[in-house]
Structure 1
Amino acid sequence: MPKPFSGPPSFLFVLKRMLTLVLLITSTGCSSEVSLNGGGQRFASQADSGARYVFLFIGDGMGLAQVELGRALLAPGDSLSFPSFPVTGMISTSAADRYITDSAAAGTALATGYATSVGTVSMAANHRDTLKTIVEMAEGDGRRTGVVSSVGIDNATPACFYAHEPLRGSLYAIALQMASSGVDYFGGGRPEGNFPHKRSRAVVDRGDIDSLMQLSGYSVVKNSASLRAVMPGTPCIASGPSDMFGALPFDMDRPARDADLALFTREGIRLLDNSKGFFMMVEGGKIDWACHANDAAAAGRDVAAFDRAIREAVAFYHRHPEETLIVVTADHECGGLSLGNRDGAYDSRLELLHYQTISMEKLSGKVAAWKKAGGVSFLAALDSVRVFAGLGAGADSELLLSRDEERELRDAFRATMSAGAARGGQYGAADSFSPAVVGILNRRAGVGWTSNVHTAVPVPVFALGHNAHMFAGFYPNTALARRLMQASGLPGSLR
């Protein structure tokens, strides 16, 4: 009988236990394992039966520092649930053709157990051979399947679990594959490829994705009330309010009435639950977007939102402890996040990040509106900075701006207001003011960043439930997928 999942220990305790497990396994080995091509392991004598209900949670861009940041920004006495899972491990993340991966190659590794080239969605690096995904294996076993994400549902990571496409940027071609994928439940962000400005770039336009989904028997719902009304077993694609990229808002920008990742996970469990079992992948995709922007406050808040979704799976585990497996990991680290920086030395005040009330993305939208309207002075902009980031306020002496910092903001403001039109992209290439604001607050809080892109730092694994023991150790991301297939008892899984 599995031990009940109880309250979380400290993060340092979890990290110590993880390192101990890694050292133990690499030094002594496991007598019941045999070698597997690609660095995986076979646990034939340990995985006597497969888990019936399987959850894979992927925190996009979430390294150990992001996990700790999410915990540090919680209310006193609160903690994240998944770092206290009884089994911990680590995985490497490199692609077949590059040391620092992208989400398509990393997602393919986690979905299929094979390495591929960057930009490739569940196909071999030769761009000819398709790779069978764990979702397809689960469907072949008669189980229901779900794919959930806080970003566009045709974005790289979720796409790797149901589509096969040589180029991750072919969003409409990816979205077209949803209707024939056999996936029972899609939840979260909308298919970005269906937006008019993306469909216009498609090689072939076969019509509106929502209409095609309906023709294939899917209920298409776009609010929480409609989602709750869908009957279990009904194929469904559900989405919430999204931006121009099909993504849900950052959690710190989300109106309380709007659906979050936890709601899409909870409703997915309700729709997928059946005696045959199910497989559900849930991605916290906005963690990565925040880290690309070096926005520590937004990243920490989205880690917490990701954890709320995981808690929905933990609640299900308590109802089915002998049949449920939950695995939490990341596809890669993003931003080279450091909790500590050169300016602060041994002093850090992560609580200062609470003064930031909106994401850098939303602040950048306000800056764009100022620019369009004209006539906004630097002093007026500083007033907004006090409201949205606390900088310059008298509530905390650590937030008062130095002369150099005020000069930095003035120069960035002038450059932004005088620059040409933005060249596109997530935040607008012409905005240097918003990154300067968030950068100053990050430095004051003791946060450091080395990059605006991914890194090759190994990422953590946390596991709970039936066959969770199979996920201890240090191994490649491809091996995690193979272990997950075996732990699920899926026919045709890689050996």
Structure 2
Amino acid sequence: MDCRNRKQFLARLLLALAVAGGVLVLGSTEAMAKAKYVFLFIGDGMGLPQSNAAEMYKASLAGFDKPGIVKLNFNEFPAQGMTTTYSIDSLITDSAAAGTAMASGVKTTNAGVGVDGRNKPVKTIAEMARDAGYKVGIVSSVSLDHATPAAFYAHQPTRKNMYEISMELSKSGFDYFAGGGLVDPEGKKSKMQGEKVNAIEAARKAGYAVVNDVAGFKALKPGQKAMFINPRLQDSQAMAYAMDNAHGDVTLADLTAKGIELLDNKKGFFMMVEGGKIDWACHANDALASIKDTLAFEDAVAKAIAFYKKHPKDTLIIVTGDHETGGLTLGFAGTKYESHFSRLNGQKVSYVAFDEKFEALKKTNPRFEQAMAMVEQDFGLKATGDAKDPMVLKDYEMASLKDAFARTLAGDYEKSKNDQEYLLYGGYNPFSVTVTHILNQKAGLAWTSYSHTGVPVLTTAIGAGSEKFNGFYDNTDLFLKMTENMGLKSKIIYLSQAN
């Protein structure tokens, strides 16, 4: 074989091996393209059980007569990975450490925001994107100074420094903030000395159009730096649970769509969108509230998918969880091998909305029967009826509700009381928690914790360079994969070195 033919043979052989081994994928147009428009969706507390429960619930709504799921849109993405979540000092992370890992590529202590384990500030991917000419948006269904959103723009040794975090928001120079409010805008809880500037006024002075009404939100136009605080806040300056929304309320999907409208430009954008109340519902062991917020999160992802279809070569969408919350299990000893997700439809409100109604009832010195009437109305559980009806409470369930009712009236459910109280109710309203536990168990769901767990989470991706998100990797690798796809410096950058 002469030299020319040998070269042709080797070229064909290498091509055949590349195709057979999947190597050619790395040279595809989508893989080689720079990710110009990047969406990072974080379902706070959303582990595999949370997303799978939402899929099973969707199947029940679709009327499946056999076990099955209706996939969430992001679980159909071509790239599928498993991501470990531990922090530098614990196998079980908190949202601050997990957010920092994803945003800056470093492990830090639980509670650390935008700093490494020695409290040294580390540049975030959002700040890197801003400096590279991208527009940047931060969206969350909880307060904008909460751990996950803060991890992308703030640098504090503890997430508890909420005033300091909110002051960093206005200094970030990011283009769009939207979601809940600020927990400590006046610095009442801050240990900073001297006169304090209101954080919302600081944002206005920094050039942000600060709006907190629906009309103002709809009127926001590209070119404005915007900060939108949802006009309807439910608990701790967070948006309402999706299942408690009223007609016309602004949703996470609306915030995402507006972000796309405001951020879209020729240089590209980076937008982080957090479904924060998935986590809050799971802390309280409220399965349906978690499921409904997961579905609202899916609706937000749908807005990014629609944008991706218009710009498939330039867009990257990543969806992940920062950790799992509650130790949710898809199975309960009382139902053995059976699941009945349709039974969750008896629930009409979240535990928070029910707590508010119960507090109003509590002022009237109520009887147990009055509370049970509320339970039947809001959760579909019945005190009396046909014993074959699964929604009719059994004797032991009634006994546990009566005990929880008495404890709630007495106000005897602080986390500090004793370990047994915490294991039973997690510091929440005992009556509400007992009601949700009973309903969840009838559906075939159960919980192991009122806190986070250390199990890996699912990460999915679609678009430019999305194949990098296949496999098994750590949450710090998300930062490296994203920066590489965006053409940014794919390394950890300390702020002292940034300039």
- Are 2:316 and 1:318 equivalent residues in the alignment? no
Equivalent residues in 2 for 1:429-468 (5 A)?
429=427, 431-468=429-466
Q: 1:263 aligns with which of 237, 254, 267?
A: 254
Per the TM alignment, residue 48 of structure 1 is displaced from its structure 2 partner at its CA by: 3.4
- Give the conservation status (yes or no) of the 8 Å contact 1:43–1:470: no
The equivalent residue for 2:75 is 83
The amino acid that maps onto 1:436 is T
Per the TM alignment, residue 480 of structure 1 is displaced from its structure 2 partner at its CA by: 1.4
The amino acid that maps onto 1:166 is P
The equivalent residue for 1:124 is 116
The equivalent residue for 1:6 is none
Q: Which moved more, 1:64-73 or 1:177-186?
A: 64-73
Equivalent residues in 2 for 1:167-316 (5 A)?
167-194=158-185, 199-204=188-193, 206-240=196-230, 241-316=232-307
Q: Which moved more, 1:454-463 or 1:217-226?
A: 217-226
Structure of greater Rg: 2
Deviating beyond 3 angstroms after TM superposition, the runs of 4 or more aligned structure 1 residues are 29-33, 42-49, 393-396, 420-424, 427-430, 491-495
- Give the conservation status (yes or no) of the 8 Å contact 1:340–1:348: yes
* 1:414-471 residue CA offsets vs partner (Å, 9 max, x unmatched): 11112369689xx994721110111100111100111111111000011011111110
The amino acid that maps onto 2:347 is Q
In the alignment, the residues of structure 2 paired with residue 212 and residue 433 of structure 1 have an alpha-carbon distance, to the nearest angstrom, of 42
Q: 1:342 aligns with which of 333, 339, 351?
A: 333
Q: 1:398 aligns with which of 387, 390, 402?
A: 390
Equivalent residues in 2 for 1:10-49 (5 A)?
48-49=32-33
- Give the conservation status (yes or no) of the 8 Å contact 1:149–1:158: yes
Q: Which moved more, 1:252-261 or 1:272-281?
A: 252-261
Per the TM alignment, residue 223 of structure 1 is displaced from its structure 2 partner at its CA by: 2.1
- Give the conservation status (yes or no) of the 8 Å contact 2:162–2:190: no
Per the TM alignment, residue 493 of structure 1 is displaced from its structure 2 partner at its CA by: 4.6
* 1:4-62 residue CA offsets vs partner (Å, 9 max, x unmatched): xxxxxxxxxxxxxxxxxxxxxxxxx99799xxxxxxxx999995342100000000010
- Are 2:376 and 1:386 equivalent residues in the alignment? yes
Per the TM alignment, residue 348 of structure 1 is displaced from its structure 2 partner at its CA by: 1.1
The equivalent residue for 1:112 is 104
Q: 1:475 aligns with which of 463, 473, 476?
A: 473
In the alignment, the residues of structure 1 paired with residue 30 and residue 303 of structure 2 have an alpha-carbon distance, to the nearest angstrom, of 27
The equivalent residue for 1:99 is 91
The TM-score, its normalising length taken from structure 2, stands at 0.86
Q: Helix, strand or coil: the match of 1:120? A: coil
- Are 2:40 and 1:56 equivalent residues in the alignment? yes
In the alignment, the residues of structure 2 paired with residue 224 and residue 458 of structure 1 have an alpha-carbon distance, to the nearest angstrom, of 38
Task: Note closer, same or farther for the CA distance 1:261–1:430 as it changes in structure 2 (3 Å cut).
Answer: closer
- Give the conservation status (yes or no) of the 8 Å contact 2:106–2:492: no
Higher helix share: 2
Q: Helix, strand or coil: the match of 2:238? A: coil
Task: Note closer, same or farther for the CA distance 1:61–1:328 as it changes in structure 2 (3 Å cut).
Answer: same
Per the TM alignment, residue 159 of structure 1 is displaced from its structure 2 partner at its CA by: 0.2
- Give the conservation status (yes or no) of the 8 Å contact 2:116–2:122: yes
Structure 1 residues not aligned, in runs of 5+: 1-28, 34-41
The amino acid that maps onto 1:115 is K
Task: Note closer, same or farther for the CA distance 1:492–1:329 as it changes in structure 2 (3 Å cut).
Answer: closer
Q: 1:489 aligns with which of 487, 490, 495?
A: 487
* 1:100-119 residue CA offsets vs partner (Å, 9 max, x unmatched): 11001000000011111111
Q: 2:367 aligns with which of 377, 398, 420?
A: 377
The amino acid that maps onto 2:457 is V
- Give the conservation status (yes or no) of the 8 Å contact 1:297–1:353: yes
Q: Helix, strand or coil: the match of 2:215? A: helix
Task: Note closer, same or farther for the CA distance 1:482–1:43 as it changes in structure 2 (3 Å cut).
Answer: farther
Q: Which moved more, 1:271-280 or 1:335-344?
A: 335-344
Q: 2:402 aligns with which of 410, 417, 434?
A: 410
In the alignment, the residues of structure 2 paired with residue 124 and residue 295 of structure 1 have an alpha-carbon distance, to the nearest angstrom, of 34
The amino acid that maps onto 1:193 is D
Per the TM alignment, residue 227 of structure 1 is displaced from its structure 2 partner at its CA by: 1.5
In the alignment, the residues of structure 1 paired with residue 330 and residue 27 of structure 2 have an alpha-carbon distance, to the nearest angstrom, of 37
Task: Note closer, same or farther for the CA distance 1:201–1:493 as it changes in structure 2 (3 Å cut).
Answer: closer
Q: Helix, strand or coil: the match of 2:484? A: helix
- Are 2:50 and 1:66 equivalent residues in the alignment? yes
The amino acid that maps onto 2:378 is F
Task: Note closer, same or farther for the CA distance 1:430–1:369 as it changes in structure 2 (3 Å cut).
Answer: farther
In the alignment, the residues of structure 2 paired with residue 321 and residue 43 of structure 1 have an alpha-carbon distance, to the nearest angstrom, of 16
The amino acid that maps onto 1:91 is T
Per the TM alignment, residue 491 of structure 1 is displaced from its structure 2 partner at its CA by: 4.0
- Give the conservation status (yes or no) of the 8 Å contact 1:114–1:478: yes
Q: Helix, strand or coil: the match of 2:353? A: helix
The amino acid that maps onto 2:77 is F
Per the TM alignment, residue 193 of structure 1 is displaced from its structure 2 partner at its CA by: 2.1
Q: Which moved more, 1:355-364 or 1:380-389?
A: 355-364
Task: Note closer, same or farther for the CA distance 1:239–1:467 as it changes in structure 2 (3 Å cut).
Answer: same
The amino acid that maps onto 2:396 is D
The equivalent residue for 2:321 is 330
In the alignment, the residues of structure 2 paired with residue 478 and residue 430 of structure 1 have an alpha-carbon distance, to the nearest angstrom, of 33
The amino acid that maps onto 2:72 is L
- Give the conservation status (yes or no) of the 8 Å contact 1:73–1:354: no
- Give the conservation status (yes or no) of the 8 Å contact 1:419–1:430: no
CA RMSD, Structure 1 to Structure 2 (Å): 2.6
* 1:51-83 residue CA offsets vs partner (Å, 9 max, x unmatched): 100000000010111101112223318652111
- Give the conservation status (yes or no) of the 8 Å contact 2:47–2:323: yes
In the alignment, the residues of structure 2 paired with residue 283 and residue 66 of structure 1 have an alpha-carbon distance, to the nearest angstrom, of 15
Q: 1:157 aligns with which of 126, 148, 151?
A: 148
In the alignment, the residues of structure 1 paired with residue 38 and residue 428 of structure 2 have an alpha-carbon distance, to the nearest angstrom, of 44
In the alignment, the residues of structure 2 paired with residue 318 and residue 31 of structure 1 have an alpha-carbon distance, to the nearest angstrom, of 25
The TM-score, its normalising length taken from structure 1, stands at 0.87
The amino acid that maps onto 2:163 is Y
Per the TM alignment, residue 245 of structure 1 is displaced from its structure 2 partner at its CA by: 1.2
Task: Note closer, same or farther for the CA distance 1:216–1:132 as it changes in structure 2 (3 Å cut).
Answer: same
- Give the conservation status (yes or no) of the 8 Å contact 1:420–1:430: no
The equivalent residue for 2:128 is 137
In the alignment, the residues of structure 1 paired with residue 355 and residue 480 of structure 2 have an alpha-carbon distance, to the nearest angstrom, of 42
